[in-house]
Structure 1
Amino acid sequence: MVLRVTPLFLPLALLLYAAVALGLSAFRTKLPKQRISLGQTVKLECEVLLSSATQGCSWLYLPPAPDTSPRFLMYLSQSRVRMAEGLDSKWISGERTKEKDYRLTLNSLRKDDEGYYFCAVFSNFVWHFSPLIPVFLPVDTTRLHCVTYIWAPLAGTCAVLLLSLLIAVICNRRNRRRVCKCPRPLVRPGGKPSPSERYV
């Protein structure tokens, strides 16, 4: 997708969270107005509110995976657009729309483009970072409904069979514990029981 940030930009990952409070008052960002989908053109807007900021803005990308570093995408100014090496200008582009408004355009959204985008400016020897702009495809709930439709009846059937097996085992144990209470014949020592004394 894009190249990783050079070692000079790696400290941005550490400064990003420390500058969130400043970023809320230094930038105004705009999320995509409509629901995004694959192949769609996505435009991200970033307005710099700092009066002392330099005449330029950098766009960066933060992958959604944990323990990842921000990746430099491009630097926009009034006179030039400097993109990171390896980026295809047909896929991604940027422009300065107003004096302090900067736009990043993803011309054909891909699955690998999901993540967080943000802009950064340098002012009074301090880097300022905008709030993260999330760009994610909607979750496909059709597959989830299909799985639920298949597994819910199957789970219910298994529960009924298990209950039936448990009842059968309990009944079988009760039948084995029954003791015969029939009268036993009384046998005299050294002889057989007489017909009249056969039962007591």
Structure 2
Amino acid sequence: MAGSPALLLLLSLGLCCTRAQGQRDAEVVWFVPRNMKNPQEGQRLEMECSPNNVDNGASWIRQDKDGKLHFIVYISVLSRTTYSGNENTSSEFEGSGQGRFYRLVVKNFRAQDQGTYFCVNYINQVLHFSSGQRAFFPVTTEAPTTPAATTQSRHVSKNDTSHQSLHPGTSSKNTLTICCDIVIWINLAGACLLLLTAITITIMHCQSKLHP
């Protein structure tokens, strides 16, 4: 158990995780196919690297957005794999080696698989990290509002406001007209009643004089 490649790698991470002796890493990680930019959710994601020294095999590590490192798999020069937990197989990943190339497959890429992936080579008690390959979902942004659409919406709002402000005034004017008409008709009816009363009184007065 103590000599397992996975345990050796974890111990090395604690002792030698910096790039010692000023050595520069020439290893590179790339997507397969290389022209892919961002993985899609649920897809089979494949990555590949070519370590400086293939005689020691290679390991794959993922760094999450919080900076935490997650060991995935160690692939020996004979293409034997050791996954996290010292397991020989994994339901989430596939690791393989062919010649100078070491491949990692994420079988079903999910949100928790997002991060930066590194290919790590162990040489003379020093860990050599490859360049990181970022694997994140595509960023989607909403389309910006055009000035023409904004201007049009402002005109529409102004017109709507104008129409809304016109209706209360029109309603008040109509109400005032109706009230005036009622007052006029009441006054006219009163005048007619007074005129009828005056005529009645006059007729009765005239009849009293003719028939004393």
For normalisation by structure 1, the TM-score amounts to 0.57
Structure 1 stretches of 5 or more lacking a match? 162-200
Structure 1 residues 95 and 126, CA, compared in 2 at 3 Å: closer, same or farther?
same
The residue that corresponds to 2:122 in the other structure is 122
Deviations along 1:45-85, one digit per CA (max 9) or x if unpaired, are 010133xx5431111010022xx331111110115210002
Quick one: which amino acid aligns to residue 57 of structure 1? A
Correspondences of 1:68-83 after superposition (within 5 Å)? 68-77=67-76, 78=78, 80-83=80-83
Distance 1:125 1:31, change over 3 A: same
Point out the structure with the larger helix share. 2
**Counterpart AA for 1:9:** L
Residue type at the aligned position of 1:92:
F
Q: Within 5 Å, which residues of 2 pair with 1:54-133?
A: 54-65=55-66, 68-77=67-76, 78=78, 80-85=80-85, 89-98=90-99, 100-133=100-133
CA contact (8 A) 1:62 1:70 kept: yes
Superposed counterparts of 1:166-185, under 5 Å: none
Q: Write out per-residue CA displacement over residues 133-162 of structure 1, whole angstroms, 9 at most, x where no aligned residue.
A: 111111123xx22x858xx849x85xx99x
Corresponding residue of 2:41: 38
Checking the alignment, whether the CA contact within 8 Å between 1:94 and 1:102 is kept in structure 2 is yes
Gaps of 5+ in 2: 1-8, 159-212
**1:184 counterpart residue number:** none
Max radius of gyration: which structure? 2
TM-superposed CA distance for 1:124, in Å, is: 2.3
Residue 10 of structure 1: CA displacement?
4.1
* Structure 2 CA distance for partners of 1:136 and 1:32, relative to 1, 3 Å: farther
CA distance in 2, matches of 1:140, 1:20: 40
Mark the CA change 1:55 to 1:108 in structure 2 (over 3 Å): closer, same or farther: same
Q: Percent identity?
A: 25
User: SS of 1:112's equivalent?
Assistant: helix
Which whole-Å CA distance do the structure 1 matches of 2:145 and 2:95 have between them?
43
Query: Partners in 2 of 1:109 and 1:101 — Cα distance?
Result: 22
Classify the secondary structure of the residue corresponding to 1:48.
coil
For 1:127 and 1:8, the matched residues in 2 are separated by 7
